[in-house]
Structure 1
Amino acid sequence: MADGVGAGAAGGAGFEFGVNVGRAASRAGFADVVRRAGEAGFDVIAAPDHLGCLSPFVSLATAASLDPRLRLRTYVLDAGFWNAALLARDVATLDVLSGGRVELGVGAGHVRDEHEDAGVRWGPLAERVRWMEDLLVEVRRRLADEAHSPRPVQRPVPLVVGAMSRAGLAVAARHADVVAFPGALQVRGERPGTLRLATAEEVAERVAHVREAAAGRPHRCDVLLQLVALDPDPERVAAELVAGDPHTSAADALASPACLFATDAADGAAQLRRRSAEFGFTAFSTHDWNLDALGRVVAELRRPPGPAGPVAAQRVG
């Protein structure tokens, strides 16, 4: 994971893809998502950390038993929910039992209602970011300790930090192997947890902030594709998907780096290449309901080059 911000990727071989699985009505349903992700060529199975969703470590342990290749990422843990000693134990346990496939993703948390429901203290953003950094530092210290038991396979376990605030991204720049941009921002004046899509300009500004704060420190950049659709009429599909959302218009969704609306897989692949060049993204994640659409783009990006490849690239690029 040594690509810096802005490094980009020339083709599908340089990209990494993940799918975030938060809900499943049965083991069979969960297993089906993991199977489809593996068959589509995804690299990472990820699990969110929200009340009402599947438990992240139980989910990832199950995924590890279903697929021997996919990496296992918490995407991302709410730092306010976790104790460093217990988290280090869970991370190390999963790393041992999966043969060294864990990626620890942590964020500052953004849903106040969940903290109140769980009886966990909520604090202002600056305080939550400080909790997050303290947790990251202490967990990494524990996992690096030769005396820690269980002892993780990976030394070190890769660290993912998810953030969109400048303070959170500064922490990511100091510590993360992967900086994960959710592509959504808190709506001003609304209850914490009410989000809107970030504009291309806002994402670009935050990417630049990370680049400056990292000062050459190597890392990769991931963006969470909130909406993905392949359809000959992207404008119509975008309007349907955001209908009823008072904070996001179809135009916002079409222009957002955190959405992918493309006419077909080739167009989607061309768009991701452009985003890599413009923003430095070399990793793309999405929610499980977008798996099949993004999977078609993954297949297009990783298609072996053939005689018609350069011509097709010129046509869609």
Structure 2
Amino acid sequence: MSEHPIHVSLQASPQDAASWVDLARRCEDAGFRALLVSDHPGSGPSPFTALAAAATATTTLRLGTYVLNAGIRDALLIAADTATLDVVSDGRADVGIGAGHTPAEWEMTGRTRPDAAGRIRHLIDVAGAVRTLLDGETVPAADVGAVRDVVLSGPRPVQEQVPLLVGGNHPDLLTWAGAHADAVGLSGLGRTLPDGHSHTVSWTPARIEASIAAVSAGAGAVGREVPPLEALVQVVTVTDDRRGAVTDMAQETGTDVEDLLAAPYLWVGTAEEIVEQVRAARQRWGISRWVVRAGAFDAVRGVIARLAENS
């Protein structure tokens, strides 16, 4: 497995115009790889609109969705929005796609939420069609249930190939992503809880290794290198008492404290200890890319600075 460079991205949502473009500038200045926006219609912003606004305030920061709900979005519209973002950002668009999990998003758009297997099959169809369209090729009508073949004649992306990330936790999804995606997002999230938003978590080494094995199997089946692995960091806590900070969480999740402290979905410790944890995770699991949420911006900025010093 190749050792990819370590990169950190920020997932955030706009609250107003001034603070949003300021955040985008600060992300670029601090050395974040990308600014990312999630996709929760009805309870969150339109990701492409937000990212286009951020593009006007930056020049090198990448801009991406993390992740689109493939269950309620049409492949042609995803490809068109992504290509447009790539044009207005002068070639800085990433597109991240997932299977979706929030029941209300299906219900409010007049759809029936499939079971997990159905959502994964649909994600694979949509993600494959988006890749094909962005590459300038035609998607046969039968592949997407259309009445005529689907083509994106314009706008054409600036990038020769817009990076496609597929994110999730299901083994079938991860295997397909290993074979076809430009990056794979590992969420560490399990079953959706009754509130429709929260999840169980699975942060044991065995579960992490099983997810990575699925990605590796997909890559191996088509004779390609394992694409970059990107972990969504659920908790960032800067403290000089690592063990004390996760004791309650270890009990709640049924995970050994040492295993929890090594998990890529949790950053705990001083900035120096978090840097050490990140480097250890890359060596152990090949995870080289990380996504943190906006509330951790100040803490993570220090981590990025130390990573740059030791690169």
The TM-score, its normalising length taken from structure 1, stands at 0.84
2:44 partner SS: coil
Unaligned 5+ runs, structure 1: 1-5, 306-317
Task: Check conservation: 2:264, 2:278, Cα contact below 8 A.
Answer: no
Aligned pair 1:229/2:237, yes or no?
A: yes
Shift of 1:234: 2.7
**Does residue 239 of structure 2 align to residue 257 of structure 1?**
no
Give 1:31's match in structure 2, choosing from 17, 21, 41.
Answer: 21
> What is aligned with 1:313?
none
Aligned counterparts of 1:143 and 1:117: Cα–Cα separation in 2:
28
Q: Secondary structure at the match of 2:71?
A: helix
Which residue number corresponds to residue 310 of structure 1? none
Q: State the partner residue of 1:93.
A: 84
Whose RCO is larger (CA < 8 A, sep 6+)? Answer: 1
Contact 1:80–1:121 (CA under 8 A) maintained in structure 2: no
Moved more, 131-140 or 278-287: 131-140
Tell me whether 169-178 or 137-146 shows the greater mean CA deviation.
137-146
- Kindly provide the CA deviation profile for residues 80-121 of structure 1, in whole angstroms up to 9, marking residues without a partner as x: 121112221111111111111111110111111322233333
Q: Is the 8 A contact 2:189 2:201 kept in 1?
A: yes
| Pair 255,16 (structure 1): closer, same or farther in 2 beyond 3 Å | closer
Alignment size in residue pairs: 291
Which residue of structure 1 aligns with residue 110 of structure 2? Answer: 119
Q: Which amino acid aligns with 2:21?
A: A
- 2:51 maps to amino acid: L
User: Contact conserved, 2:175 with 2:217, CA < 8 A, in 1?
Assistant: no
Aligned-residue sequence identity (percent) comes to: 32
SS in 2 for 1:87: helix
2:3 is aligned with 1:8: yes
Off by >6 Å, runs of 4+ in structure 1: none
Tell me the equivalent position of 1:49: 39
Shift in Å, 1:249 = 7.8
Instruction: Say which SS state the counterpart of residue 229 (structure 1) adopts.
Output: strand
Unaligned stretches of 5+ in structure 2? 138-151
For 2:282 and 2:252, locate their aligned partners in 1 and report how far apart those are by CA, in whole Å: 30
Deviation for aligned residue 1:153: 0.8
- Call closer, same or farther: CA 1:304–1:260 in 2, change over 3 Å: closer
TM-fit CA distance, 1:191: 6.1
Q: CA deviation at 1:143?
A: 2.0
Q: How far 1:236 moved relative to its partner?
A: 4.3
2:279 to 273, 280, 293: 273
Q: Check if 1:183 corresponds to 2:188.
A: yes
When normalised by structure 2's length, the TM-score is: 0.85
User: Which residue in 1 is equivalent to 2:50?
Assistant: 59
Counterpart of 1:206?
211
The aligned amino acid for 1:258 is Y
